[in-house]
Amino acid sequence: MSRSILIVDANPGFAGMLQQALSSVGFQCILAHTGREAFQLASGGLVDLAIVDFHLPDGPAEELVRALQGVHPGILLLGIPPDNDPDNPVIPMLGMQGAITKPFYLPDLVPQIAALLGAEVPSLAEVFPEEPETLEETVIKPPPPKKSTRSVPWLENAGKASAWLERLSAENSALACLITHGAELHAGAGSLSREKLSLLARRVSQMWAETPGGAIAQYVRLPPENEEMFLYSISLALNYDLTLLFDRKTSLSVARRRAKVFEKALDVPPVGGTVRRITGELAAIRHKTGEILSGKRRTGDLPPFKPTDSSSGPSDRHGS
């Protein structure tokens, strides 16, 4: 028997992500972004379980919870508490069955909800089985805006793009990252081989063919190790997309913030300032040792590259 779930959250991206994951394993999901909308939907049909975020734009969530219990006395309720504390006393005080805190790991949350409803559902891995010689995926895509039309001329230089990725991936704890141009791997950095990055580039191209813009978040497995990772991809600039790979426990909000750091860093071209800085460091070194700075330098003469922080810190305008 299908179970009906009402998701009440003012954040369309988060609500849409949760809806897609729960719908993919057979639940009927309806969305509401305000308390008034949630009450109207619940009054019009059966709701077995409601997930209620306490940050609602049109009134206290406590009033909505009591109203839902009045409409459906047997309704199960999960709350996203205002202080993100799973032990917040408001949860048992309202007779709710539990709390969801952010960030959370989606493949763990779905079985938790299924158990609460007494329903047997396939795992997310079974819903999205591994394809031969390709990736296993769990799609959790929020509603997309249009793709970026930003022009970044220096990004067209694969060498500059690769150096830029190397620096930012090290600074932002990404396992690997790549820039794709259509289905082609334009630049890559991190712990994955060139072959795996190329495989990802082709698959990311397929994802974007189905998503006109915004962001894509998926859990993926790469053969042959099949280690699960969290993938987050954004439209970086005109015809260029950025994909970051993280540890599987990384939350959506953290991945989004890391991607924003990359996006913001586009305003600082990676080569010009770096060359001038290294030249100055080299001149200082040679001055100390009595050497003369010649007009032509050998690559082996350059000191180790020390990245500078080109951003003042990430900001997450969407939340999660």
Per-residue pLDDT of the chain (320 residues; tens, 9 = 90+): 468 999 999 887 778 778 877 887 788 999 999 999 999 999 988 899 999 999 999 989 999 999 999 999 999 999 999 888 888 999 999 999 999 887 666 667 788 888 888 887 665 555 444 433 333 344 444 444 567 888 888 889 998 898 899 888 888 888 999 999 988 999 999 988 899 999 889 988 888 887 666 788 877 777 787 777 888 999 888 889 999 998 877 877 788 889 999 988 888 776 554 433 433 443 444 444 443 333 333 333 333 433 444 344 333 333 34
CA dist 312 → 71, 92, 315, 318 (Å): 49, 41, 9, 18
Residue 249 has a pLDDT of 76
- Which residue segment(s) compose the domain that 87 sits in? 4-127
Residues 214 and 265 in one domain: yes
Residues 104 and 137 in one domain: no
Residue 207 has a pLDDT of 80
For residue 143, count other CB atoms closer than 10 A to its CB: 12
Q: Of 127, 153, 180, which residue sits at a domain end?
A: 127
Residue 48 has a pLDDT of 94
Residue 290 has a pLDDT of 43
Residue 149 has a pLDDT of 83
Residues 32 and 91 in one domain: yes
Quick one: how far is CA 12 from the chain centroid? 14
Residue 291 has a pLDDT of 38
Residue 126 has a pLDDT of 53
Residues 121 and 133 in one domain: no
Residues 108 and 135 in one domain: no
Residues 147 and 193 in one domain: yes
Residue 105 has a pLDDT of 64
What CATH number does the domain containing 286 carry? Answer: 3.30.450.30
Domain count, the chain: 2
**What's the whole-model pTM score?**
0.47
Q: Of 127, 144, 163, which residue sits at a domain end?
A: 127
Residues 86 and 149 in one domain: no
Residues 123 and 269 in one domain: no
Q: Of 127, 159, 183, which residue sits at a domain end?
A: 127
